[in-house]
Amino acid sequence: MNTTKSNERLLDVRGLTVEIDGRNGPAVVVDGIDLYVNKGETLGVVGESGCGKSLTMLSLMRLLPNKIKVTKGSASFDGNDLQKMSNKELRKVRGGDIGFVFQDPMTSLNPVMRIGDQICEPLIYHRKMSKAQARQRAVELLRLVGIPGPEERLQAYPHELSGGMRQRVMIAIGLACNPKLLIADEPTTALDVTIQAQIVDLVKDLRAKLGMSVVWITHDLALIAGLVDRVAVLYAGTVVEDAPVDELYSRPSHPYTRGLLASIPKLSDAPASRLSSIGGTPPEPGRRPKGCPFAPRCPLAEPVCHERVPKLEPLAGAGNHRAACFVVQKVQEAA
Amino acid sequence: MSAIPLSTIEATQEEPPVNLWRDAWYRLKRNKLALFGLVVVLILGFTAIFGPYLTPYDYLTQDLQARNAVPSLHHLFGTDDLGRDVFSRVVFGTRTAFLVAIVVTFIAVAIGLVLGAIAGFFGNPFDSAIMWLTDVTMSVPNLLLVVVINASLKTPIAKWMEAQYMATLNPFYRQTIWVDFFLVFGSMALISWPPYARLVRAQVLSIRSRPYITAAQALGLSNWVIMKRYVVPNALGPLIVSVSAGLGTAMVLESAFSFLGVGVNPPTPSWGNMISDGLRVWQHYPHLLAAPAAVLGLASVAFSFLGDGLNDALNPRGSK
Chain A residue numbers with beta carbons less than 8 Å from the beta carbon of B230 are 110, 113
**What does the pLDDT look like over A183-205, one tens digit per residue?**
988 888 777 788 788 888 888 88
Rounded Cα distance between A302 and A310, Å, is: 12
- Per-residue pLDDT, averaged over B48-65, amounts to 72
Please give, one letter per residue, the 3-state secondary structure of A273-329: CCCCCCCCCCCCCCCCCCCCCCHHHCCCCCHHHHHCCCCCEEECCEEEEEECCCCHH
Establish if B9 belongs to a structural domain. no
B10: closest CA of chain A, how far (Å): 9
Sheet containing strand A318-323, edge to edge, reads A98-101, A181-185, A213-218, A42-46, A230-235, A238-244, A318-323, A313-315
Look at chain B and report how many structural domains it folds into: 1
Establish if B267 belongs to a structural domain. yes
Q: Can you give the residue range of the structural domain that contains B246?
A: 43-318
Establish if B24 belongs to a structural domain. no
Is B7 in contact with A149 (Cβ distance < 8 A)? yes
Establish if B256 belongs to a structural domain. yes
Helix axes B86-122, B176-208, angle to 10 degrees: 40
Q: State yes or no: pLDDT of B266 exceeds 80.
A: no
Establish if B15 belongs to a structural domain. no
Q: Is the pTM of this model over 0.95?
A: no
Is B20 in contact with A63 (Cβ distance < 8 A)? no
Q: Chain B residue closest to A176 (CA)?
A: B219
B87, HSE (Cβ side, Cα atoms, 13 Å): 16
CATH number, domain containing residue B201: 1.10.3720.10
Greater confidence, B16 or A78? A78
**Residues with Cβ within 8 Å of residue B157, at least 6 apart in sequence:** B179, B182, B183
Nearest to A111 among B5, B214, B234 (CB): B234
Is A149 in contact with B233 (Cβ distance < 8 A)? no
Confidence of residue B236 (pLDDT cuts 50, 70, 90): confident
- Per-residue pLDDT, averaged over B248-262, amounts to 81
- Per-residue pLDDT, averaged over A119-136, amounts to 90
**What does the pLDDT look like over B66-83, one tens digit per residue?**
666 666 666 666 677 666
pLDDT at B91: 82
In whole angstroms, what separates CA B196 from the centre of its chain?
13
Rounded Cα distance between B159 and B177, Å, is: 14
Establish if B79 belongs to a structural domain. yes
**Residues with Cβ within 8 Å of residue B230, at least 6 apart in sequence:** A110, A113, B207, B212, B213, B216, B221
Establish if B153 belongs to a structural domain. yes
Sheet containing strand A68-77, edge to edge, reads A25-38, A9-22, A68-77, A80-81
Count residue pairs from A and B with Cβ separation < 8 A.
99
Q: Chain A residue closest to B9 (CA)?
A: A149
Q: How many CB atoms lie within 10 A of CB B211?
A: 16
Q: How many CB atoms lie within 10 A of CB B49?
A: 12
**Residues with Cβ within 8 Å of residue B212, at least 6 apart in sequence:** A107, A108, A109, A110, A111, B230
Q: State yes or no: pLDDT of B7 exceeds 60.
A: no
**What does the pLDDT look like over A37-65, one tens digit per residue?**
998 889 999 888 778 888 888 888 888 87
**Can you tell me whether residue B130 is helix, strand or coil?**
helix
**What does the pLDDT look like over A300-327, one tens digit per residue?**
888 888 888 888 888 877 668 888 888 8
Tell whether A163 is within 8 A of chain B (Cβ).
no
Q: ipTM of the assembly?
A: 0.82
Chain B residue numbers with beta carbons less than 8 Å from the beta carbon of A117 are 19
**What does the pLDDT look like over B163-212, one tens digit per residue?**
888 888 777 776 666 677 777 788 888 888 899 989 988 888 888 888 88
Tell whether A155 is within 8 A of chain B (Cβ).
yes
Confidence of residue A5 (pLDDT cuts 50, 70, 90): low
Establish if B247 belongs to a structural domain. yes
Is A95 in contact with B219 (Cβ distance < 8 A)? yes
**What does the pLDDT look like over A239-297, one tens digit per residue?**
889 889 888 888 888 888 888 888 887 777 777 777 777 877 888 777 778 888 888 88
CB A155 within 8 A of CB A161: no
B48: closest CA of chain A, how far (Å): 34
Rounded Cα distance between A115 and A105, Å, is: 12
Q: Residue A285, preceding bond cis, omega within 30 degrees?
A: no
Nearest to A152 among B6, B20, B215 (CB): B6
Please give, one letter per residue, the 3-state secondary structure of B224-263: HHHHHHHHHHHHHHHHHHHHHHHHHHHHHHHHHHHHCCCC
